[in-house]
Structure 1
Amino acid sequence: MGLPSSLFLLLVPLLIYSPVEGRYKCKDLNGKQVDWFVAYKLPTGIANANGGKNFVYADSNNPSWQLSRKTIDDPDSAIGATVSQAYGDDTSSFVLMYSDDGPTTPVDSYRGHAKGVLVFDGSTGFWLVHSVPNFPGMNSYIYPPTGFKFAQSFLCVSVATDNLAAIGEQLTFIQASPFKSQLPDKFGTRFPVLRTVLAKKSLPPSATIFTSTKHIQTEGGTAFHVYAKHKKYKQDLWHDLVATDQGVSLGVQTWLNGGADDLHSSCRRDGVNVFDITDLTIMGANFSSSKDHSKWAVSDAARRPVVCVGDLNRQKSQLSRGGGALCLEHAALWRTYRGTVRDVEACMAEWARGGAEEGTFGGVMKIVVYLGVVMMAR
């Protein structure tokens, strides 16, 4: 038996105008939904860079670098298509863009050094973490010309909307700086922490814990550790929080053009070491870390194939800034990132035993300087 005509007429507008749930996810190179992706924008002055407009891409379906046919400033590129979902006329979705250096806001050196985009409906959404200042545009997808010169990093995860509680708490710890937002009442009621984020409220004065580690899972089942540190933590995100929690040594790529402000590779008695990456290679093109503004890390050995993408540089000034990182264990993606590392800085021991100590990254012995004594690399 069919529906009465009067009931059918009532349902038609709902079918036409009700938003379809589960429509917001990361987009791949062909504009199709994908569980997660990483991207690496190439710096100017190297092969295949196209003036700093080209990027390589890997995702849950193919975790090896592919050169995108579309440039980073193309709204139809993987990054463009993903971010462009934030500019629709859907007033029922949650939208958040945050940056310490947004397209229309002054640089905020007090709050977190973090940049990202979130778009969610009642079922699913995506979280894009990136390293590009002045990005993206307020009202349409725009990649700033200032972002072409140096390499940049991107990570996008497609997750269920329930994860917004954990994500919101992490954004509170890092003191994210929103510059564009849309928070429908249903999201504010369901996830009160989002109101806290948009109000730029942070931890209470009575707080004594200044780091947070959460676990989220993508729609496809990939597990991520989500790390966050508040400015009052006053320690290095990569060594003191991420590497220590993971229990692995890391090679870390961050912005290291700060001279005396830069932190250096460091070894610890427990063998959990952090090495600053100095030279990189992508698809046959070599470049120095001085041309790279990205922020990511890779573990030293395949027995724990950890890859992380995050917010903070290994600089003294950033010990007092909030920021975070997302990490996963993925053997194929680990090989992709580990193969990007050409060389790392020598490791400097932190403990006082005298003499010299050796540190390794991927089985390669590095010179270690301690108390003025130098041990040659082997």
Structure 2
Amino acid sequence: MGVMWRIFLTVSLLCWSADGQVKCRDNNNAEVDWYIIYKVPVTDKTTGLEYLYIDSAGKKKDTLTTDPTYKPINHPNGVLANTLRPIFTTSMTDNFGFITYSDQPPGCNAIDTFGHSKGLVMMDKTTTGVWLLHSTPRFPFRRDQNKFWPDSGAKNAQTFICVTFNYNTFQQIGQHLLDINAFTFDDHIPNNFHENLKNLRRTENNNRPQRVNQVKIQDLTSAGGTLFRSIAKKQYEGGEEPEDDQCGDEPPPTKKPRTEPPPTIQEPKEEYDGDLYLTIAETYTTNVKVQTWCSKKESSYCKGPQVIRIKSVKTNLGNVEVKWRPGKDHSKWCVAKNNNNHLICIADVNRALSQYERPGGGLCFIHQQASELFKGVIAETEDCR
């Protein structure tokens, strides 16, 4: 029986790729054009496997163990596992390809000449594929339905965005990954695939030409017709010793609360050329509110357009309110400050000098419900004078 099941599973997975079913999938394995996940951290009320979710089909929910349809983010038949299922087999066809990239892959860290970027692309050459951009170290941990989620993945808040694209768009997506110098740690790209994808294979990691240090912006249309924009940022080349951007939990509150004064308008510094979120604000000519890991070390940027630091996040998981600070949040995202502007971006770099000096980027689009979901979790910000 065990042998027959393994044969059935292998054939099913091969057919999955061969039939072109490489698409973003929801908690019930239904195809969606895109989805966004905001996973919460471990707190006294959460396990770190719960999450907020929104997708192109209009589904918008928070997950609770009291919900009968609830599946934690590491579930072998949950939203991530359903999306990743095409790579949960070692047998690959000539029409199927994938690349997993991360500056923190399982077992090691990439050197800092590579982008501070994490994600996965996989595609069927005859139809569609997906781009899954995220912030979780060591993910996917294994190409295994039961071991894809790293044990370390629960601790901090993380973000994921999955978008389904037609195969031809992956020439542009491959260019974006070259522009951010993504570090590839696992791949299968046949020789008849796009040239940019072939240039991203593991064997090419240390043989790529030096990237041109400039902002690169591309418009990408999803398979369902949604307009996205990929942004690869410029690197700051100041030559200074990078600061430590590691960040622990927030210290316990002092007996006497201290109110932080709002930041004053500062003169522009060349280092801010490397701030992805300032680039996003300038690209869309709007002030933005930003959440990144260790953001408390980088004040709001107040020399318009403004980049406003988010100081804390809170959300209701059903009837349970959960609140956390940047020391528990490894996600990277921003929204427009103006409530009438529905910009939302899911990104891969932090606001820190060490990140300004490295490649990186993000994926942005205009969507009212998605932007309102993220604006709704903002608890405190460091506003400009």
Coarse TM-score class (shorter-chain normalised) = 0.7 to 0.9
Deviation at 1:20, TM superposition (A): 4.1
1:177 to 166, 173, 183: 183
Note if 1:104 corresponds to 2:107: yes
Aligned twin of 1:22: 20
The 2-side partners of 1:103 and 1:37 are apart by 25
For residues 379 and 16 of structure 2, the distance between their equivalents in structure 1, rounded to whole angstroms, comes to: 52
- Tell me the alpha carbon deviations over residues 347-376 of structure 1, each in whole angstroms, 9 at most, x when there is no partner: 3xxxxxxxxxx2xxxxxxxxxxxxxxxxxx
Alignment CA distance shift 1:232-1:273 (3 Å): closer
Paired with 1:291 and 1:311, the residues of 2 have a C-alpha distance of 16
Shift of 1:134: 0.8
Q: Identify the residue that residue 61 of structure 1 maps to in structure 2.
A: 57
Match of 1:329 in 2: 366
Name stretches of at least 5 consecutive residues in structure 1 with no aligned partner. 1-15, 348-357, 359-378
Amino acid aligned to 1:293: H
Provide the TM-score with structure 2 as the length reference. 0.78
Is 280-289 or 319-328 further displaced after alignment? 280-289
Note the 1:121-270 alignment, pairs <5 A. Answer: 121-122=124-125, 123-141=127-145, 142-187=148-193, 191-198=194-201, 199-200=204-205, 204=209, 209-229=213-233, 231=235, 235-256=273-294, 262-268=297-303
Query: Which structure would you say has the larger Rg?
Result: 1
CA shift digits 1:83-115 (9 cap, x unpaired): 232223332211100000101333433311000
Match of 2:88 in 1: 87
CA contact (8 A) 1:306 1:327 kept: yes
Deviation, 1:186, is: 1.4
Contact 2:104 2:138 in 1 (8 A): yes
Query: Counterpart of 1:354?
Result: none
Q: Aligned-residue CA RMSD in angstroms? A: 2.2
Contact persistence 1:173–1:202 (CA under 8 A): no
Contact 1:173 1:203 in 2 (8 A): no
Unaligned stretches of 5+ residues in structure 2: 1-13, 65-69, 238-270
Secondary structure of 2:280's match? helix
Deviation for aligned residue 1:209 = 4.5
Distance 1:138 1:19 in 2: 18
The alpha carbon displacement at 1:80 in A equals 1.7
Say whether the 8 Å CA contact 2:311–2:381 is kept in structure 1.
yes
C-alpha contact (below 8 Å) 2:344/2:364 kept by paired residues:
yes
- Aligned partner of 1:9 in structure 2 is none
* Residue equivalent to 1:365: none
> What SS does the corresponding residue of 2:356 show, helix, strand or coil?
helix
Contact 1:172 1:202 in 2 (8 A): no
Q: Distance in 2 between matches of 1:331 and 1:287?
A: 24
**Count of paired positions:** 322
What TM-score results when the alignment is normalised by the length of structure 1? 0.80
- Of stretches 324-333 and 101-110 in structure 1, the one that deviates more from structure 2 is 101-110
> Which deviates more, 236-245 or 293-302?
236-245
Identity score, percent: 29
Please report how far the alpha carbon of residue 57 of structure 1 lies from its aligned counterpart in structure 2 after TM superposition: 1.2
Match of 1:71 in 2: 72
Task: Indicate how the Cα distance of structure 1 residues 209 and 203 shifts in structure 2: closer, same or farther if over 3 A, else same.
Answer: farther
Report the CA distance shift for 1:289/1:332 in structure 2 as closer, same or farther (over 3 A): same
The 3-state SS of whatever aligns with 1:326 is: strand
